[in-house]
Amino acid sequence: MLFKKKIFAVLLFLAILGLLYKGSDKEKAFGLHFTAKFTPGDILSVGNGVMFVETTDRMEPPHLVLCSIESAARAYPDRPVVFFMKGLTEINSEEDEIQAKKHFPTLLSYDNIHLYPLRMGVLLKNTPLISWYEKIKPKNEIHWTHISSDASRLALIYKFGGLYMDTDMISLRPVPDINFLAAESSQISSNGVFGFASHHPFIWTCMEDFVKNYNGAIWGHQGPALFTRVLQERYCTLFPFEAKEDILCGNISFLNPERFYPIPCSSWKKYFEVWEELPVFNESYALHLFNYANRDEHKVMIPGSNTLVEHLYQQYCPATYQAVQEKEQST
């Protein structure tokens, strides 16, 4: 009897050890190490997450960033919306996340919004990007904020799968496609929004090209230009769109500019103008407000201005709109 008990104890110990090893192995596979079972891998395990990144240390982002995240949480209520922030401290428990979310009161009421620190050295492990990252000197890179974001979004989508969006996009309705790129204009891909299943070969090829053809002096070379050249070189020849249809490029949907860019970059100021008749954007999933084009003029949504962007805030990120409105009234 004593011998049987000893055998049972040994088997139980081995079983527990095996479970611990499997959990540790899973974390290593993602290249993410946390002291508790509250990881991005847990939240994003289904592969349908909506992801945003902040590659600066700022912890008080512009309200457009908060609007972007809130609108995504509303458009995708059954999917995790995860904001990775470089300036965030470690998140090892639900309580840590609650404390972090207190920095952003407008996001507190959304249970599907999650915050995690962005640690590039950890995130890029087990991808082609790690060799580039270990050699690069960020202080010498004039576009580092954008380049580091370009790299991070590739690794996140490759490892977890799901949807990536820039923090200057306002979501209107869910994107029905899984593996897709968005045309910013005819025959030019954006990398401000895209979605893929995890470990999709297109993303792996993009990471390889990112390293092989790296040129940090040219803005967008690791972003829109990267997606466009890989798509055309490896998947299909891009022809001009006809009407408002999408294009199937291999197993990737190349979405019509109407889906995210009904107002093109050259006309970005229209978002901050008063319209006699408001557009309905029935053919669009989200709208890109082009922060980069706005970098010198710093136009923002102003409550009471009756501009198009004010109406978008009111409809798609009401908590953010109310917070901005109350702040304006108190000053």
Closest CA to 230 of 150, 131, 121, 115: 150
Which tens digit of pLDDT belongs to each residue from 190-204? 999 999 999 999 999
Whether pLDDT at 13 is above 60: no
- Kindly state the tokens that stand for 111: 């249970």
Amino acid identity, position 194: F
Whether pLDDT at 292 is above 50: yes
pLDDT, position 84: 97
Whether pLDDT at 3 is above 80: no
pTM, two decimals, is 0.88
Q: For tokens 């053809």, what's the residue? A: 213
| Residue ranges covered by each domain of the chain | 40-330
Q: Where are the alpha helices (DSSP H) in 110-179?
A: 120-123, 129-135, 144-160
> With contact defined as beta carbons under 8 Å apart, do 117 and 85 qualify?
yes
> With contact defined as beta carbons under 8 Å apart, do 195 and 178 qualify?
yes
Of 96-105, 245-254, 304-313, least confident by mean pLDDT is: 96-105
CATH of domain 40-330: 3.90.550
Query: How buried is 299 (Cβ within 10 angstroms: 0-12 exposed, 13-18 middle, 19+ buried)?
Result: middle
Which tens digit of pLDDT belongs to each residue from 205-261? 999 999 999 999 999 999 999 999 999 999 998 889 988 999 999 999 999 999 999
Can you spell out the DSSP letters for 85-126? ETTPPP--SHHHHHHHHTT-GGGTT-TTEEEEE--HHHHTTT
Q: What is the average pLDDT across 297-303?
A: 97
pLDDT, position 35: 38
Which tens digit of pLDDT belongs to each residue from 16-74? 444 444 444 333 334 444 334 478 989 999 999 999 999 999 999 999 999 999 999 99
Q: What is the average pLDDT across 4-11?
A: 47
Q: What is the average pLDDT across 289-318?
A: 97
Which tens digit of pLDDT belongs to each residue from 134-176? 999 999 999 999 999 999 999 999 999 999 999 999 999 999 9
Task: Characterize the bridge pairing of strands 169-171 and 81-85.
Answer: unpaired
CA dihedral 175, 180, 181, 182 (to 10 degrees): -30
pLDDT-derived band at 97 (thresholds 50, 70, 90) equals confident
pLDDT, position 279: 97
